[in-house]
Amino acid sequence: MTAPLVTRVSRADAAAVGDAVHWLRAGGLVAFPTETVYGLGADATNAHAVARLYDAKGRPAFNPLISHVTGVAAAQKLARFDGNAAKLAEAFWPGPLTLVLPKADGCPVAELATSGLDSIAVRVPHHDVAQKILAAFGRPVVAPSANRSGHVSPTTAGHVLADLRGRIELIVDGGASPVGVESTVVACLGPPMLLRPGGLPREDIERVLGFALASAPPQAASDDAPLAPGMLTSHYAPRTLLRLDANAVTAGEALLAFGPSRIEGAENAKATLNLSQSGDLIEAAANLFSHLRTLDGAGAPMIAVMPIPHDGLGEAINDRLKRAAAPR
């Protein structure tokens, strides 16, 4: 649990945009208006900032986030566009459409933000304040709706304050969000598929494509229910088996450690990485996916994972580890 912060609310003028950029650069959390709803922004390239964002929202799992950018050119650094995706971006950006696309090579967005998927959600908001912050910051910003997990999405700065006071650094107040519902999410990973209905009607999208969108099974992209693994694109799962809550290491195993203590046999581990030497769950979340990948490459028959507490982000970390350890 993090100590309460002072949450500032600033009218959306040039100084507020400057403050927003300051906090984003420092790994802070900044709520800002978009045309759909208020977003809770963090530097998409900073895993620690993204971990803090999940903590502030109180999400029980690491659902993948949308990376917000100024336009198509910036989006192309993050994702690969096929013909359909290019058509939709051309027709509807900036605007309330999020595209889920294959990640580009060298995509700088933190693994935690895409929860280890090989796809990425990208959106170009049609809102002057959001655009100014993104342009001045110059990097992608992940922004889920700026509410506590399970609450309704905020369309005013007051809604954001009621939910997140003391948990984020800044709220930029740009008045009410005109659309009032989240963006429509369409995956272009194969035949375009509607993952979440939203501010842009399906008919408008189908008119531009010239054919009907495939429909995802219900709840495919809901906020609090993670995507069914393997439905659209596979969730990252290590090839190496995982053994959770390990209190000893068998020679030759890789060790995913947590906290300052050493467990029996640790010196015989084939490779060891610590999620957080000091036992900080935010740091642990920031390291989770990259450490799993690295240990997966160590050539060990098994990755032993030390127990992780279940409070705060520990719930999401344990959820993810349980999925990674599930029999396949």
As measured in angstroms, the least distance from the Cβ of 123 to ligand TXA is 6
Q: Which is nearer to Mg ion, 55 or 223 (CB)?
A: 223
Interaction partner, residue 39 (Mg ion, ligand TXA, none; CB < 5-8 Å by kind):
ligand TXA
As measured in angstroms, the least distance from the Cβ of 130 to Mg ion is 16
**What are the DSSP calls for 137-156, one per residue?**
H-S-EE--BSS-TTSPPP-S
Q: Which residues contact 234 (CB under 8 A, 6 or more apart)?
A: 117, 118
Instruction: Give, in degrees to the nearest 5, the angle at Cα 303 between 300 and 305.
Output: 160
Interaction partner, residue 196 (ligand TXA, Mg ion, none; CB < 5-8 Å by kind):
ligand TXA
Q: Which residues bind Mg ion (CB under 5 A)?
A: 145, 223
> Could you tell me what percentage of the chain is helix, strand and coil, using 3-state DSSP and rounding each to the nearest 5?
30, 20, 50
As measured in angstroms, the least distance from the Cβ of 56 to ligand TXA is 13
Interaction partner, residue 34 (ligand TXA, Mg ion, none; CB < 5-8 Å by kind):
ligand TXA
CA-to-CA distance for 34 and 55, rounded, in angstroms? 22
As measured in angstroms, the least distance from the Cβ of 314 to ligand TXA is 21
Q: Which residues bind ligand TXA (CB under 6 A)?
A: 34, 36-37, 39, 63-66, 98, 100, 114, 117, 119-121, 123, 125, 143-145, 182-183, 185, 195-196, 221-223, 227, 232
Interaction partner, residue 78 (Mg ion, ligand TXA, none; CB < 5-8 Å by kind):
none
Interaction partner, residue 120 (Mg ion, ligand TXA, none; CB < 5-8 Å by kind):
ligand TXA
Q: Which is nearer to ligand TXA, 228 or 326 (CB)?
A: 228
Q: Which is nearer to Mg ion, 35 or 223 (CB)?
A: 223
> Phi and psi for 156 in degrees, rounded to 5?
-140, 160
Residues in the chain: 328
And the tokens for 328? 């396949």
Interaction partner, residue 52 (Mg ion, ligand TXA, none; CB < 5-8 Å by kind):
none
Q: Which is nearer to ligand TXA, 298 or 319 (CB)?
A: 319
As measured in angstroms, the least distance from the Cβ of 271 to ligand TXA is 29
Q: What is the side-by-side strand order in the sheet with 184-187?
A: 8-11, 170-173, 30-33, 38-43, 141-142, 66-68, 119-123, 97-102, 184-187, 193-196, 214-215
Q: Which is nearer to ligand TXA, 36 or 240 (CB)?
A: 36
Q: Which is nearer to ligand TXA, 114 or 274 (CB)?
A: 114
As measured in angstroms, the least distance from the Cβ of 306 to ligand TXA is 29
The half-sphere exposure of 159 on its side-chain side, counting CA atoms within 13 A, is 21
As measured in angstroms, the least distance from the Cβ of 145 to Mg ion is 3
Helices (H) and strands (E) in the chain, counts: 9, 15
Interaction partner, residue 121 (Mg ion, ligand TXA, none; CB < 5-8 Å by kind):
ligand TXA
- Name the closest residue to Mg ion (Cβ): 145
CA-to-CA distance for 137 and 169, rounded, in angstroms? 16
Asked if 25 and 180 count as a contact pair (C-beta separation under 8 A), the reply is: no
Angle between helices 47-57 and 281-296 (to 10 degrees): 130
**Measuring CA to CA, which residue among 167, 189, 174, 166 is closest to residue 79?**
189
As measured in angstroms, the least distance from the Cβ of 179 to ligand TXA is 8
Q: Which is nearer to ligand TXA, 229 or 309 (CB)?
A: 229
Cis before 327? omega within 30: no
Q: Which is nearer to ligand TXA, 121 or 129 (CB)?
A: 121
